């Protein structure tokens, strides 16, 4: 009889452990499924992030190319501006020289006109004396 009780106890224990295993196994399977869904969602996020990074990298490359092109254009424009400034300075110097020459010519003409008036005055005085 003790052997029968012991057998029943062992069988009951095995059944309880099996039932507990089934419950635990069900919970573990449920947890694994939840984790799988989480992994899939995280993989989608990672894929999306990688796509965004690729897009941003492409945009960055385009912007860097634009910067290089703009820097080259700026250098070209600076060179042209320097040439234009040199030409402008040359023209300005010529204009200044011509203005000085014109000023001197006007002064000489004014002196000449004063001399003419003086000579005309002298001629009128000589004519009156005669």
Q: Give the pLDDT mean for 3-12.
A: 83
Give the predicted TM-score (pTM) of the model: 0.52
Domain presence at residue 109: no
Domain presence at residue 114: no
Domain presence at residue 127: no
Token pair recorded at residue 97: 């020289």
> pLDDT grade, residue 130 (50/70/90)?
low
Domain presence at residue 105: no
Domain presence at residue 128: no
Q: Specify the number of domains making up the chain.
A: 1
pLDDT in tens, 68-78: 999 999 999 99
pLDDT in tens, 89-107: 999 999 999 999 999 999 9
DSSP H helical segments within the chain, as ranges?
2-129
Token pair recorded at residue 101: 């020459």
Q: Which domain holds residue 77?
A: 1-99
Residue 67: CB atoms within 10 Å: 10
Q: Give the pLDDT mean for 6-35.
A: 89
């Amino acid at each position: 009889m003790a052997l029968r009780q012991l057998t029943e106890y062992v069988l009951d224990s095995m059944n309880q452990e099996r039932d507990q295993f089934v419950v635990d196994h069900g919970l573990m399977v449920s947890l694994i499924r939840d984790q799988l869904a989480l992994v899939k969602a995280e993989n989608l996020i990672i894929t999306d992030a990688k796509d965004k990074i690729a897009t941003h990298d492409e945009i960055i490359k385009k912007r860097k190319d634009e910067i290089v092109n703009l820097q080259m254009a700026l250098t070209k424009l600076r060179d042209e501006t320097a040439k234009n400034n040199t030409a402008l300075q040359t023209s300005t110097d010529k204009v200044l020289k011509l203005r000085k020459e014109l000023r001197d010519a006007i002064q000489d003409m004014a002196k000449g006109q004063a001399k003419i008036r003086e000579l005309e005055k002298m001629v009128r005085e000589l004519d009156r004396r005669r």
